[in-house]
Structure 1
Amino acid sequence: MAVVIPAFNEEETVAEVVRAARELTPDVVVVSDGSSDRTAQVAREAGARVVDLPQNVGKGPALRAGLEATAAEYVVMLDGDLLGLTREHLERLLRPVLAGELDMAIGVFEGGGFASDWGNKLTPHLSGQRACRRDWLLAVPRLGAERWPEPPITDHLKTTAARWDYVELGQVRQVLKETKRGFWKGARARTRMYADLLTYRRRKKRER
């Protein structure tokens, strides 16, 4: 069992996520995706193994690097900017996968805060909180080629007819980009993210 946490400039929150993950398993891998702050140092101090990428390559390549850094059969992937996460949340996410009921469980926020809940409910398929078999995730086409891994993961769920469902993570929330980076920088980062997500199928077709 391993927890993989891609993180870009998350020094304020990554330690809390690592500590919750280490209550579940000692195999916690944080991939610092070209962070310019103390993300890597803070994650190590909290007990994670750190893969420190020299430049920012995106969440997809960072996730793949984290998966390649562990040999665990099952993995939980988490964002590095979560607040309120506990071992119980991770066990709830893992339970249907370990029981063989689902191939992937996708965590969605409930009761953690209006903005975080609302955003997660609008686009639950973009959630970064997931549990599945490591070999299944490594088999996702374009996982390491896309800056955001959620669209190729969604495609792979459909093409493999995988069993999946949402699992509520009560009282967990995500720090908004606008809060972390300031309103305008955060808004620009969010705009770039959605632009990249919306053009995924165009890139996929172009490379066929």
Structure 2
Amino acid sequence: MSQPAQPRFPTPAPVAVVIPAFNEEATVAEVARVALEFTPEVVVVSDGSSDLTVAAAQATGAQVLDLQPNGGKGAALYAGLQAAQAEWVVMLDADLTGLTPQHLHKLVRPVLAGELDMTIGVFEGGKFMSEWGNRLTPQLSGQRACRREWLLSVPRLPQERWPEPAITEHLENTGLRWDYVELPDMGQVLKEKKRGLVKGVVYRTRMYADLLTYRVRRRRDKPGK
């Protein structure tokens, strides 16, 4: 396995990048490679992938965890956070397009400067469909920066297949300062392109149904309800 190169854009404080991935062999290597230009601590967590995600990520020199079987993005994120060492962490999706080290600096700068406790990245000027979906539901963005210990304290994080609603709810409950950060010329590979039209639509529908009904399910599962 190759050794990660020294970052060309060193950060002023220890920052780790955690990248959960499920069958993202086509894009995960580029996301990890860009992250390694930003910081030497990059953890890719394969969530039960059946393709070449693990090999593609390992070839970049990133630290790679191969979880089996598939347990959901929350479990993968939690494992990556436990494996990381830095005080600060950036979460990234593994299917991003157009990512640059400058995007990561823009995302992390307000939290390192003490201006915010969390930043949430939203696409701007990228592909129409991915930008439209990201802006329609920005609270569900997988691009975030904050303290690693705070993310580890999110209730039921390993149990949530899609952890963004749980993170957002904990953000509201703990009163942290947060804001959106625009990430220009970025996007994501559409589910329909990765998995085919029919499978992609089914996957996207199930994902959004799970994400958008989170609060209803949480109220239902609370004792006494």
Amino acid at match of 2:120: I
CA distance in 2, matches of 1:130, 1:202: 24
Please list, as runs of the form range in 1=range in 2, the aligned pairs for 1:20-31 lying within 5 A after superposition.
20-31=34-45
Query: Any stretches of 5+ residues in structure 1 without a counterpart?
Result: none
Q: CA deviation at 1:144?
A: 1.0
What SS is found at the alignment partner of 1:36?
Answer: coil
What percentage of aligned pairs have identical amino acids? 69
User: Per-residue CA shift, 1:122-177, capped at 9, x if unaligned?
Assistant: 00001000000001111111111110111111111111111000001101110010
Q: Give the TM-score, by structure 1 length.
A: 0.98
Query: Any stretches of 5+ residues in structure 2 without a counterpart?
Result: 1-14
Give 2:205's aligned residue.
191
Q: CA deviation at 1:79?
A: 0.2
CA distance in 2, matches of 1:5, 1:74: 14
Structure 1 runs of 4+ off > 6 angstroms?
Answer: none
136, 158, 165: which one aligns with 2:150: 136
TM-align CA RMSD: 0.9
CA distance in 1, matches of 2:75, 2:217: 16
Give 1:92's aligned residue.
106
Please list, as runs of the form range in 1=range in 2, the aligned pairs for 1:1-208 lying within 5 A after superposition.
1-205=15-219, 206-208=221-223
CA distance in 1, matches of 2:115, 2:23: 35
CA distance in 2, matches of 1:138, 1:44: 25
Amino acid at match of 1:129: Q
What SS is found at the alignment partner of 1:23?
Answer: helix
Q: Give the TM-score, by structure 2 length.
A: 0.90
- Report the structure number with the largest CA radius of gyration: 2
CA distance in 1, matches of 2:42, 2:110: 21
How many residues are paired up? 208
CA distance in 1, matches of 2:186, 2:212: 27
Q: CA deviation at 1:198?
A: 2.9
CA distance in 2, matches of 1:194, 1:106: 18
